[in-house]
Amino acid sequence: MTDKKHGHVHHSKSTKDILSADKVLSAAGLKSGDVFLDAGCGDGYISIAASPLVEGEGKVYAIDVYPESIEIVKKDVQKKRIKNLEAIIADLTSEIPLIDDSVDLCVMANVLHGFVENGELDKVLPEIKRVIKLGGIFSVVEFKKIEGLQGPPFEVRLNPQDVENVLIKYGFEVTETVEVGKYHYLVNAVKN
């Protein structure tokens, strides 16, 4: 969805019916004990799936700018009695409320294209890089750039090379690009 005054609108419906959280987390390499950040978490279904994978020693941060999204996550956390997940309202274009070098793995699913479209990369990517540990992973999931699929308009979609170029520009080393479903691919990059 595009708003002429404000550019691409990030808020959209959940993709849990068409994107497997387990496939994403497996491809991203989430492991026990990790500190995990779901950047632009939406309804938090990826965060919820990450919680048992990082186990007791790990921690999950679900961050989104929309209070209604974070409210959904908090209700789910309470209902499922999850102890290692913190849902936070924060704007990724200003400041992520986490300390430097604290995250082992950050997943950003179906969000990067909006930051590209709105010219917000210079605000978002340095913050993502700041909170990821040296040697930590930044995994970007995006809709394939194919006409007629569910998701954002074709003209704002990114192909894997676009995502790789963005990550390289901001100092990440791309390690792999994999398909994570019928409609999505994932690009893994390391903070060096």
What is the predicted pLDDT for the residue at 2? 38
Where residue 63 sits, what CATH number does that domain have? Answer: 3.40.50.150
Residue 12 has pLDDT above 80, yes or no: no
Which has the higher per-residue pLDDT, 150 or 6?
150
Residue 7's pLDDT is 45
Can you give the residue range of the structural domain that contains 9?
Answer: 2-191
Name the domain count of the chain.
1
For the chain, the straight-line distance linking the first and the last C-alpha, in angstroms and rounded, comes to: 35
CA-to-CA distance for 146 and 139, rounded, in angstroms? 21
- Tens of pLDDT along 136-162? 999 999 999 998 767 899 999 999 999
